[in-house]
Chains A and B, each alone.
With several copies, the nearest count.
Chain A
Amino acid sequence: MINAMAFEDRERGGAPEGDQLVVDLDGYEGPLDVLLTLAREQKVDLTKISILALADQYLAFIATARRLQLEVAADYLVMAAWLAYLKSRLLLPEPPGPDQPTGDELAAMLTHQLRRLEAMRGVAARLMALPRLDRDVFGRGAPEGLPRRLVPRYEATLLELLRAYGELRQRKENAVLRIVPPELYSMEEALERLQRMVGRVPEWRSLISFLPPILGRGLIERSAIAATFAASLEMARAGKLELRQDRSFGPVFVRSKPGVI
């Protein structure tokens, strides 16, 4: 069925004429192609074509082919039969019944088919006429190409960084055995503290004022008071301090022993 030469011929020289049509049935791409070729012979816009005349031409074409004993493929005959039917629909009054398309509608459909096929042939020719790569236009013969480099982008958040450092420090701390110092203020500490102050207290001052600056922590404060009191007694016994208490449970006062300075 495919006959490239016939196509090329027609592309160059337009449609083949008369007898050539009849004998060269194999040059056609099916009945629609024949119809289109015949339609072109009416030399009018396809939208204005006479479908009746076209049907007649086609039927005559097939009749000639058969008379010449050419083998006519079944689809050409089916088209002939359908065109004969279309012709009758166009010529006779429309039978009632909404389901069937009218003869005019069938004709319009055929016209659309022909126009579309013709349009496709037109754009096919335009498509093939485009400058083609490696035939009409050329890309760069030796493109260097664009190498793809994989660039790692490291991701870490500040939170991760801080957490890592925190865990590191914690790990280190956990690894060191640390003996927690006793929470009580020791006698030794109180003694040391008082001894540093000896000689600088000419006037009587409350023993409480010699306590280290302790906030809250009742137990520690009480241990400090006890330790400092015991230390003051120890230092009074050593002759370095004087103690005075005016009444029972009253505040204890302390001063440097005169002459010790």
Chain B
Amino acid sequence: MSSSDGEITDVSGASDRAQQLRLIEALLFASAAPLDAATIAERFPDGADVPALIAELEREYRGRGVNLVFVAGGWTFRTAADLADKLGLEKVVPRRLSRAGIETLAIIAYHQPVTRAEIEGIRGVAVSSGTLDVLMETGWIAPVGRRETPGRPVTWGTTDAFLLHFGLADRRDLPGIEELRATGLVGLHPLTVAETAAQTLPFAPAAAVEERDRDEEEAEDDSGGA
């Protein structure tokens, strides 16, 4: 079983060598552990130049998806190192964003660039770093700079992936608060009769006007910077 010279001797020199290469290739492939040249040479009683054959095989596999490498005292096939991260089968698990996550995302989308403290100011509750981590994982937000205020806090903004996912061409495509109101996504305040009138009358509550103006300015600033 181990001896193979009976068949190899009667073939021509070239195919003899090719046959020896095939055998080494098969041996190294099938072996559970790396094989050294001596172990391989045991299969070639007629004294083939095993190191030269291995070297040839090593060359042939150079640059392929599988390489012949020398590890732990022997030769073995290994998938090419540069492909390692592509081998893992990715199993996609759909996951929903938490309430805090979607609100934070919305604030970042509307107010970017916005610091964490500002997000907390708008939400009225602290933003856990876990929430930002999850949003980072989605690839929808990213740090976009620093606010030039004491402590130079990081500012957050949305990414192209965000636009892609939500089917927006541009961050300015997000509907304004008044449009949200018009579509019923923001409920009417019980005392908003005057506010509605504020669109046409100069009696608008000063605070509301100021806030809206600021939001719009910020949105414009961002898009300018992008």
**A and B touching (C-beta < 8 Å)?**
yes
Contacts A127-B105, A181-B203 given; does A146 touch B175 at CB 8 Å: no
Bound-state Cα–Cα, A84 to B46, Å: 66
**Segment among A16-24, A152-160, A229-237, A245-253 that sits at the interface with chain B:** A152-160
Bound-state Cα–Cα, A146 to B27, Å: 8
- Establish whether residues A133 and B203, one from each chain, have CB atoms under 8 Å apart when the complex forms: no
Residues in A whose Cβ lies below 8 Å from that of B176: 122-123, 126
Interface residues of B, count at CB 8 A: 74
* A196 interface hit (Cβ, 8 Å): no
* A226 interface hit (Cβ, 8 Å): no
* B193 interface hit (Cβ, 8 Å): yes
Contacts A30-B125, A137-B78, A139-B76 given; does A124 touch B106 at CB 8 Å: yes
* A214 interface hit (Cβ, 8 Å): yes
* B146 interface hit (Cβ, 8 Å): no
Interface residues of A, count at CB 8 A: 89
Residues in B whose Cβ lies below 8 Å from that of A137: 78-81, 84, 167
* B55 interface hit (Cβ, 8 Å): no
Residues in A whose Cβ lies below 8 Å from that of B8: none
Residues in A whose Cβ lies below 8 Å from that of B109: 127, 161, 165
Contact with B along A156-177 (1 / 0, CB 8 A): 1110111111111111111100
Bound-state Cα–Cα, A149 to B43, Å: 13
Interchain pairs with CB closer than 8 A, number: 301
- The listed residue (A33, A138, A172, A214) touching B89 by CB distance below 8 A is A138
Bound-state Cα–Cα, A90 to B63, Å: 58
- The listed residue (B79, B110, B208) touching A120 by CB distance below 8 A is B110
- Establish whether residues B175 and A141, one from each chain, have CB atoms under 8 Å apart when the complex forms: no
Contacts A126-B176, A152-B137 given; does A120 touch B91 at CB 8 Å: no
Residues in B whose Cβ lies below 8 Å from that of A149: 88-91
* B57 interface hit (Cβ, 8 Å): no
**Segment among A1-9, A60-68, A200-208 that sits at the interface with chain B:** A1-9
Residues in A whose Cβ lies below 8 Å from that of B97: 128, 154-156, 160
Could you list 7 examples of A-B contacts with CB < 8 Å?
Answer: A2-B98, A117-B122, A138-B89, A150-B93, A161-B166, A174-B189, A178-B205
List 5 tightest A-B contacts by C-beta distance, closest first.
A32-B124, A30-B125, A124-B106, A7-B99, A138-B30
List residues of B whose CB falls within 8 A of some A CB: 26-27, 29-33, 76-81, 84, 87-100, 102-103, 105-107, 109-110, 122-126, 128, 134, 137-138, 140, 164-168, 174-177, 180-181, 183, 185-187, 189, 191, 193-194, 196-197, 200-203, 205-208
